[in-house]
C-alpha cells in the first residue's frame, strides 16, 4: 500500500505541488485559528494572553442567550438563512440547466460572462449600487412613478430589507454558482442524450430524466456545505445593506458580534458567538447528511 501511494505521488507530483498553497492556506487560516477558540471559555485580556487569562466556563455563552437582543438577532439570522437556502440556492442550478441548452457557443459564453461579472464586485460596491438604485431619484422610484405610485426609500424600510437581501444575493453570486454545476453537466456522457433523442425524448424530458438526476449528487454536496453556513450569512453583505431603520429585521449574529464584541473589545464574547454558530452549523450538516444518505445514498461522508 505504501509503495502504491509513493508511486502515485511520484507520477502525479505536479498535482501535489499545485495543492501545497491550498493546504498551507487551510492550515494557517483555518486550523491554526481553532486554537484561539479557547478564549470563548476565558475572560481574555490582551495583556494576560491566552494562557494567563482566567477561566470562566460557559459565562459568555450564557451572556449571549440571556441578552435581551438575542431572540431578535437569532430570529433574523434564521430567517435570512432560510431565504438564502430556499430562494438563492436553487437559482444557480436552474441557470446551469438553462445555459446548458444554449447551442451557440458565442452566445453561451457571453451569457456566462455576464452572469459571472457581478461576483467580482465587493459588497461595498454592490451596496453603493443598491442605495443609488433605490434612492428617491433612483431607477426604482422612477419606474414606480410611471404607475402613479409614491416614491419609497426602500433601503430605509424594514419591509424591503429581506427581499433586497435575497435579490442582491442572487444577482451577485448566482452566476458564479453555476461554474460547478456546468462542470458537472459537461461530464455527462453525450450518448445518453443521443439514446434519449432516438427514443423521441423532448429537451424537457432529457433535462428531467438525464441531466438533473446526474446533477443531483453535486447539488446535494453543495447543499450540505450551504447548510453548514446556515448561520454564517456573511458580515460584508448585511453590514453594507443595513441601516438604523432596518436593524429590527436585518441585524444578525455577525453584525451583532461586530458591535458588541469587536467594537467594544469583548473578544471572548465574540469568539463564543462564533463557536456557537460553528456548533449549530456542524449539527445541521451532520443531521442533513444522515438524511441524505437514507434518501439518496449520497452525502459528504
Look up residue 174 and give its three cell numbers.
Answer: 448566482
Q: For the chain, what is the largest distance between any 2 Cα atoms, rounded to a whole number of angstroms?
A: 77
- Is residue 136 a contact partner of residue 151, using CB atoms and an 8 Å limit? yes
Q: Which residue has the cell 410611471?
A: 146
- Is residue 60 a contact partner of residue 40, using CB atoms and an 8 Å limit? yes
Q: What is the pLDDT of residue 10?
A: 75
Distance, CA of 83 to CA of 76 (rounded, Å): 11
DSSP annotation string for 143-161 = HHHHTTPPP--GGG-HHHH
Q: Is the dihedral of CA 113, 86, 223, 212 positive or negative?
A: negative
pTM above 0.75, yes or no: yes
User: Which residue stretches of the chain have pLDDT < 70?
Assistant: 1-5, 7, 295-301
- Is residue 255 a contact partner of residue 242, using CB atoms and an 8 Å limit? yes
Q: What is the pLDDT of residue 263?
A: 74
Return contacts of 285-288, CB within 8 angstroms, 24+ apart.
285/224, 285/225, 285/227, 285/228, 288/223, 288/224, 288/227
Report pLDDT digits (tens) over 71-99: 899 999 999 999 998 999 999 999 999 99
- Is residue 18 a contact partner of residue 1, using CB atoms and an 8 Å limit? no
| Of the candidates 27, 30, 52, the residue with the CA atom closest to the CA atom of residue 42 | 52
Taking 3-state DSSP, the helix, strand and coil percentages for the chain, each rounded to the nearest 5, stand at 80, 0, 20
| Angle at alpha carbon of residue 117, lines to 218 and 28, rounded to 5° | 65
Q: What is the pLDDT of residue 5?
A: 67
**Cβ count within 10 A of residue 234:** 15
Q: What is the pLDDT of residue 1?
A: 55
57: left (phi over 0), alpha (psi -120 to 50) or beta: left
Residues across the chain: 301
Distances (CA, A) of 226 to 70, 189, 252: 23, 28, 17
Look up residue 153 and give its three cell numbers.
Answer: 426609500
Q: What is the pLDDT of residue 299?
A: 62
Q: What is the pLDDT of residue 274?
A: 85
Residue 300: DSSP 8-state: -
For the CA atoms of 87, 89, 94, 97, the dihedral, rounded to the nearest 10 degrees, stands at: 180
Looking at the DSSP assignment, which residues form a beta bridge with residue 55? 42
Amino acid at each position: 500500500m505504501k509503495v502504491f501511494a509513493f508511486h502515485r505521488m511520484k507520477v502525479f507530483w505536479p498535482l501535489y505541488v499545485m495543492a501545497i498553497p491550498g493546504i498551507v492556506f487551510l492550515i494557517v487560516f483555518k486550523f491554526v485559528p481553532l486554537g484561539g477558540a479557547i478564549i470563548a471559555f476565558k475572560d481574555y485580556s490582551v495583556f494576560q494572553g491566552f494562557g494567563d487569562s482566567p477561566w470562566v466556563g460557559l459565562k459568555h455563552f450564557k451572556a449571549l442567550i440571556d441578552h435581551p437582543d438575542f431572540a431578535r438577532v437569532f430570529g433574523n439570522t434564521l430567517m435570512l438563512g432560510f431565504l438564502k437556502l430556499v430562494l438563492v440556492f436553487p437559482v444557480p442550478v436552474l441557470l446551469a440547466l438553462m445555459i446548458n441548452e444554449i447551442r451557440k457557443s458565442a452566445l453561451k459564453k457571453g451569457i456566462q460572462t455576464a452572469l459571472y461579472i457581478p461576483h467580482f464586485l465587493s459588497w461595498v460596491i454592490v451596496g453603493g449600487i443598491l442605495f443609488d438604485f433605490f434612492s428617491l431619484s433612483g431607477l426604482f422610484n422612477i419606474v414606480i412613478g410611471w404607475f402613479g405610485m409614491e416614491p419609497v426609500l426602500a433601503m430605509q424600510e424594514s419591509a424591503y430589507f429581506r427581499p433586497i437581501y435575497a435579490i442582491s444575493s442572487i444577482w451577485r453570486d448566482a452566476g458564479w454558482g453555476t461554474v460547478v454545476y456546468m462542470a458537472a453537466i459537461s461530464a455527462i456522457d453525450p450518448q445518453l442524450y443521443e439514446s434519449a433523442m432516438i427514443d423521441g425524448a423532448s429537451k424537457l424530458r432529457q433535462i428531467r430524466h438525464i441531466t438533473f438526476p446526474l446533477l443531483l449528487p453535486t447539488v446535494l454536496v453543495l447543499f450540505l456545505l450551504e447548510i453548514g453556513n446556515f448561520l454564517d450569512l456573511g458580515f460584508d453583505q448585511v453590514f453594507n445593506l443595513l441601516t438604523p431603520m432596518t436593524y429590527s429585521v436585518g441585524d444578525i449574529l455577525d453584525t451583532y458580534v461586530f458591535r458588541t464584541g469587536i467594537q467594544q473589545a469583548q473578544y471572548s464574547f465574540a469568539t463564543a458567538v462564533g463557536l456557537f454558530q460553528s456548533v449549530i452549523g456542524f449539527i445541521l450538516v451532520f443531521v442533513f447528511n444522515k438524511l441524505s444518505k437514507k434518501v439518496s445514498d449520497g452525502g459528504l461522508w
